[in-house]
Amino acid sequence: MEYQHELSLKVRDYECDLQGIVNNANYQHYLEHARHEFLLSRGISFAELHAKGIDAVVSSITMRFKTPLRSGDEFVIKSRFVHDRFKYIFYQDIFRKSDMKVALKGVVDTVCVVNGELSEVDIL
């Protein structure tokens, strides 16, 4: 299936841990930032949603780590999503730019919570 959005970033040294590779939690940051930029590209701001009482939240996430990113690496996050009644399921893969090797494969389920209740709100 085809990706619907791409975001290019570069590793920042503070994202690397004592093993000299990007700390795992930062991949989650990368994926989140890519989703929010994806939303923005369609005119939707995560911060504005929150201000309106709609919170898009992650209900589950699966990440498979393939190739560790390191200081100086440039990478691209490619994303697409499918929508069912209550969920947006994002498929997000990260590729290292130097050789386009897969760094990470992720699947992220998100739901919308409106005033504390799971909602069918269609935001995308």
- Pairwise CA distance, residues 112 & 117, whole Å: 8
Count of residues that interact with a second copy, criterion CB under 8 A: 37
**Selected binder of a second copy within 43, 62, 84, 122 (CB under 8 A):** 62
> In the bound complex, what is the minimum distance in angstroms from residue 4's beta carbon to a second copy?
20
CB 107 within 8 A of CB 18: no
- Secondary structure (3-state) at 56: strand
Minimum distance, C-beta of residue 91 to a second copy, in the bound complex (Å): 15
Piece in contact with a second copy (CB under 8 A), picked from 14-22, 79-87, 95-103? 14-22
With residue 60 as reference, give the H or E element that holds it.
strand 54-65
The region, left, alpha or beta by phi > 0 then psi within -120 to 50, assigned to residue 20 is left
- Site residues for a second copy, 42-61, by CB under 8 A, read 45-47, 50, 55, 57-61
Catalytic annotation present for 17: yes
**Among 115, 52, 49, 121, which Cα is nearest to 83's?**
121
Residues acting as catalytic residues: 17
Name the site residues for a second copy (rule: CB under 8 A).
12-14, 16-21, 23-26, 28-29, 32-33, 36, 40, 45-47, 50, 55, 57-65, 68, 70-72
